Amino acid sequence: MKAAVYRGPRHIKIEEVPEPEIKGRRVRVKFKAGSICGTDMHFYRGEWKLKKGRIIGHDAWGIREDTNERVVMAAVANCGHCYFCLRGLPSYCVRGKFYGLTRDGFFSESKAMLPRSLIPLPSTVSDEEAAIVEPVALAIRVLDYMKPNLGDWVTILGQGAIGLLMTQVALLKGCRVIAVDLEDYRLKLSEKYGADVLVNAKNEDVVKTIRKLTKIGSDLVIEAAGTKGTVEQTPLLVRKAGKVALVGESEGYLNLGDADQALFFTIYLSPVEYPSAVELIARKLVDVKGLITHRFKLGDFEKALETLDNPAEKPLKVIITQ
């Protein structure tokens, strides 16, 4: 079967690999569609390390072979009984698997999966929408963990696909959103989704603008741009005793001199939020289809990566189909 295999920076290509072995309680899922994530692009650019020979991809859906159901494949598999699982923290399971990172991912013609990692898709979720469930689940997890109050200012650094979904979920929580990005076309989408304030970091001093607007600093800050520079900016944006979620990147120097009692944390995807993500998409409470800018077949995977890596193409979400 064909799969997208990582062989090194800027060297991810479609190769023939063995069919997955179906044993124990696992079932075969035939890949139908998925989307390329920012994490995949960090690997592609050589910014993050990945084991050579790994099949990438962690946001996809397919057809369950034994029941013929449409299902989303959860990117995290956990044991259910270790220290972290028993405390409701499956992302940190000591035996956990992150598909596309620590285990072979979903960009292959078929995948062996445990049934508990498969979330049924209602007919109200289209095939293309089903390819973008993982970042919705992540946005839900981040905002649930932050526990915003109604009317809180939430500054979201980066308005790529992840940031735009953070914006949508924050607005559902009753927050006032300050959307920050370098590109006007992304900020226009932020405005479409209801962001209260748009800040183009090319043209404005982000710290001064947000401090002037909020008086005391942003109640919550979400780093979704995935750069060291935006990580280092977060302590200057958050108010005292506020909260900062480092989602896109976690490396960088934090000057905590004025960020008294502010809580900084990294946060990762968990399987718990997938059903809620599917529900939000099904009820049209979040828009994922509007984020799709390009579509490619699995066989054109290298071209898809090149497109996503080219700012002139104005990419957001790139969909891969069988």
- 42 and 127, same structural domain? yes
pLDDT at 249: 87
Which phi and psi (to 5°) does residue 58 adopt? -140, 15
- 181 and 262, same structural domain? yes
pLDDT at 258: 86
Identify the band that residue 103 occupies on the pLDDT scale cut at 50, 70 and 90: very high
- 296 and 244, same structural domain? no
Digit-coded pLDDT (tens) for 146-180:
999 999 999 999 999 999 999 999 999 999 999 99
pLDDT at 250: 87
- 165 and 99, same structural domain? no
Question: How many domains is the chain built from?
Answer: 2
For the residues 199-210, what does the mean pLDDT come to? 97
pLDDT at 254: 92
CA distance 189 to 160: 10
CA distance 71 to 30: 10
- 279 domain-assigned: no
Q: Give the CATH number for residue 146.
A: 3.40.50.720
Percent pLDDT > 90 in the chain is 93
Question: Is 4's pLDDT higher than 90?
Answer: yes
For the residues 278-294, what does the mean pLDDT come to? 97
322, with CB counted inside 10 A (0-12, 13-18, 19+), is middle
- 273 domain-assigned: no
CA distance 322 to 301: 11
Digit-coded pLDDT (tens) for 110-137:
999 999 999 999 999 999 999 999 999 9
- 153 and 103, same structural domain? no
Residue 50 near residue 101 (C-beta atoms within 8 A): yes
CA 198 to chain centre: 21
- 105 and 25, same structural domain? yes
- 94 and 155, same structural domain? no
pLDDT at 269: 87
Question: Is 17's pLDDT higher than 90?
Answer: yes
- 64 and 162, same structural domain? no
pLDDT at 268: 86
Q: Give the CATH number for residue 11.
A: 3.90.180.10
- 41 domain-assigned: yes
CA distance 107 to 299: 10
pLDDT at 275: 97
- 314 and 237, same structural domain? no
- 155 and 141, same structural domain? yes
- 313 domain-assigned: yes
- 140 and 258, same structural domain? yes
- 223 domain-assigned: yes
Cβ neighbours of 80 (radius 10 Å): 11
Domain span at residue 78 reads: 2-132+288-321
Question: Is 139's pLDDT higher than 90?
Answer: yes
- 182 domain-assigned: yes
- 157 and 56, same structural domain? no
Residue 315 near residue 293 (C-beta atoms within 8 A): yes
Question: Is 251's pLDDT higher than 90?
Answer: no
For the residues 7-34, what does the mean pLDDT come to? 95
* Residues forming a β-bridge with 153: 176
Smallest CA-to-CA distance from 288 within 178, 72, 133, 142 is with: 133
More confident call, 244 vs 268: 244
